[in-house]
Amino acid sequence: MPTLAAGAAELRIRDATGIYRAFYVVKVADAILVFHAFVKKTQKTPGAELLIGRKRLKEMLP
């Protein structure tokens, strides 16, 4: 998901109750940092969710 940051990716989950997304980045070989997750209600990922994701990732990485 280069719109968030280099190395960021998106996990897509769909079940009978809805569609979910989680943004994550592999920081080191043995760790995955999940920095934002939300329920997706529209076809396009809302800009507000992208902003939250960028902010949280920036707070978590040195």
What are the domain boundaries of the chain? 8-60
Give which of 24, 42, 40, 23 is closest to 32, Cα–Cα.
24
Strand intervals (E) in 3-50: 8-15, 18-28, 31-40
More confident residue, 3 or 49: 49
pLDDT tens digits along 4-57? 887 888 999 999 999 999 999 887 677 888 999 999 988 888 999 999 999 998
> Taking the CA atoms of the chain, what radius of gyration do you get in angstroms?
12
Tell me the whole-structure pTM to 2 decimals: 0.78
Give which of 12, 5, 62, 4 is closest to 40, Cα–Cα.
12
